[in-house]
Structure 1
């Protein structure tokens, strides 16, 4: 239940014009060549690439995502690429009789065995896509054909140029209706430029769609689907890049690399990455974030969405980096600013529990329950604590 609440908070933050941002994707096909770019906008810089070699006739795949190993995007050595977007809910009604399979498994099957958007469409028509009610996925193949997966709609298109972001094409009359600032900036750039199907031009497009906000562009990737070259930019800095030869990487054994580690430790992106992951001072990122707002009231911090941001950072330390001591520091920092927040006391209780400090865990859960008597999660953990010896 707690994880579901955090996911809702994340979506609210992403769609909040004050703190949110929008991931972006763009494709251009000219003279038999297709280039695709995407921006991953998020709070955490802990993004990585992992490479899985092709076996038994399957394609090799380069995935990208966070520490939880859930693929946010990928490219295979047949030149099929996809990217995912968090979107507002769009009901999926056409699920009766469809194959039940976790979407992550379906994506993996697609990337290992398929090379065209048409193949993907035929396959997804057989799958129950109910888990995508608040998401959309876009696939592009070497011919430039794209597939948008949104709600019950599977939309195939073949325009030379197409841009995508956190909205549904099926729900708008025209691209002029889209209010996402990053998308609007990108469309203005495209109107005033006449680009070619090149990695450098696509990089310029992604720069026009990038953001430097709290949920800013952590990295950008540009794919040449024909040569299988992948260009990477870090932390909305387009003055430097790294080119990856996909074929070369897939000739190695399965391996992974943090995207920040592809760049110099002196780069802006790597310095941000180091600050965010400071084990000695894990609240450093948050402390600098609120440095100009220390005189804010608790209600003002709540209005800023601080609760959700602290939970995102804290649970990354707790669950993905397996460091409950760092998570405790993060949650305590958040509670100092919003002492009446039942959810943060609940989170601190879980961090203490994972650290086997059951006495302090009990105190935190009791405080959370006092602030919110309907907190079922706190009641569940308090019952668990009673079975522990401390």
Structure 2
């Protein structure tokens, strides 16, 4: 679920610009390993541990600085992840409980151990806010639950991969039009699958994109987590869930867990400096728009515009830095003054801030 509040704001202006992510699980000989790539523009990623307290299970959450869990694992070996999706109407809502999504995920992860229990619980909840999202839960046994629209689907295949498409509407994954996902499927078809951290890491390496901010690999039996940063599969750290929870409630910033000379850390520094963001995209447009045909230039313009819009929206609504957000958003008009949608959005944002 790609940085949910930010995504909603950006899609209003750029409805075809949602990014994608991926997830893979394998169960063999009683062991389940799960991998996830988190694809987004913001490098402000973090892990936070919440001991069980009065709940049955403690939880490790993974996500961004807005504090909403994009993924999680609990002490029972239950893993969760979410996906941004095309709109799918949810009709089965009459008489169901009203529970905000910000409360729903933590409640499930602190309370439940298996997907059958989660399915029973979710059947009582109004999930209308998931009309553009899909949730996936995988438990220690290897069973999974897909939450999509009005469908709550239990499955237990030995191997299963997920991305930004609805499984109930796409019976053949090889026909899904997501290039990076197809790249991962090719690797699965040509490699010997093994239920270990190394093999799952190799799969997620093939599923990665240029905006993959981090990769988490979970051993649900041992409750160990391997963490990679920013498409770099040469270096990783490993965490023991139980050991970390025993330290009490605490938070780790993912970029700061890795060497400062890496590409990921440099992107992290650039992203958090508005002037550096402006310089980066000015230089990128200047260098990449030379000697390319009209079609390629229009595609580059679209991608750069979307990237800048994502970042400006993040600065406005998460970092809550209006000055930085306006500076970044003005770059769209500097590079592409004919962009009337960007002009209108910027004017509306400035006017809204004046009234506050």
TM-score (norm 2): 0.90
Residues of 1 paired with 2:154 and 2:227: CA distance?
27
Residue 11 of structure 2 contacts residue 17 of structure 2 at CA under 8 Å; is this kept in 1?
no
Measure, in 2, the Cα distance between the counterparts of 1:154 and 1:314: 36
1:124 counterpart (108, 122, 125): 122
Deviation at 1:228, TM superposition (A): 1.0
Q: 1:147 aligns with which of 138, 141, 145?
A: 145
Secondary structure of 1:54's counterpart equals coil
| Equivalent pairs, count | 348
Aligned equivalent of 2:325, options 310, 324, 327: 327
Give the 3 Å change call, closer, same or farther, for CA 27–4 of structure 1 in structure 2: closer
Specify the SS of the correspondent of 1:166.
Answer: coil
Question: 8 Å contact 2:274–2:327 — kept in the other structure?
Answer: no
**Distance in 2 of aligned mates of 1:11 and 1:135:** 15
Which residue does the alignment assign to 1:97? 95
User: How far is the alpha carbon of 1:245 from its aligned partner?
Assistant: 1.2
* Aligned residue runs from structure 1 range 31-46, under 5 A: 31-46=29-44
Unmatched 5+ stretches in structure 1: 15-19, 352-360, 362-377, 386-390
Out of 255-264 and 301-310, give the one that drifted further.
Answer: 301-310
> Is 1:223 equivalent to 2:218 in the alignment?
yes
* Equivalent in 282, 285, 289 of residue 284 of structure 2: 289
Say yes or no: does 1:177 pair with 2:175. yes
Q: Equivalents in 1 of 2:300, 2:232: separation in Å? A: 31
Shift of 1:294: 5.3
Q: For 1:357-376, what aligned pairs fall within 5 Å after superposition?
A: 361=350
1:240 is paired with a residue of what secondary structure?
strand
Distance 2:172 2:48 in 1: 37
Partner deviation per Cα, 1:188-209 (whole Å, 9 max, x = no partner): 1111112211011100010111
- Per-residue deviation at 1:305? 4.7
Select which of 6, 9, 14 maps to 2:10: 6
Structure 2 unaligned blocks of 5 or more: none
Shift of 1:327: 2.1
Q: CA deviation at 1:176?
A: 2.2
Contact 2:282 2:335 (C-alpha < 8 Å) held by counterparts: no
Alpha-carbon offset, residue 130 of structure 1: 0.8
The answer to whether the aligner puts 1:261 opposite 2:256 as a matched pair is yes
Q: Do the aligned partners of 1:276 and 1:284 also contact (CA within 8 Å) in 2? A: no
Confirm or deny: 8 A CA contact 1:275 1:284 kept in the other structure.
Answer: no
Q: Kindly name which structure, 1 or 2, has the bigger radius of gyration based on alpha carbons.
A: 1
2:143–2:156 Cα contact (<8 Å) kept:
yes
Question: Once structures 1 and 2 are overlaid, which stretch shifts more, 250-259 or 34-43?
Answer: 250-259
Distance 2:353 2:117 in 1: 47
1:364 matched residue in structure 2: none
In structure 1, C-alpha distance between the alignment counterparts of 2:288 and 2:269, rounded to whole Å? 23
Counterpart mapping for 1:191-206 below 5 A: 191-206=189-204
Task: Describe the shift of the 1:264–1:292 C-alpha distance in structure 2 as closer, same or farther (beyond 3 A).
Answer: same
SS of residue paired to 1:97: coil
Confirm whether residue 237 of structure 1 aligns to residue 241 of structure 2: no
Supply the distance in 2 between the matched residues of 1:149 and 1:308 (Cα, whole angstroms): 28
- Which stretch of the first structure deviates more once superposed, 78-87 or 333-342? 333-342
Task: State whether residues 9 and 308 of structure 1, in contact with CA within 8 Å, keep that contact through their aligned partners in structure 2.
Answer: no
- SS of the equivalent of 2:191 reads coil
Answer whether contact 1:132 1:151 (CA < 8 A) is retained. Answer: yes
Give the structure-1-normalised TM-score. 0.82
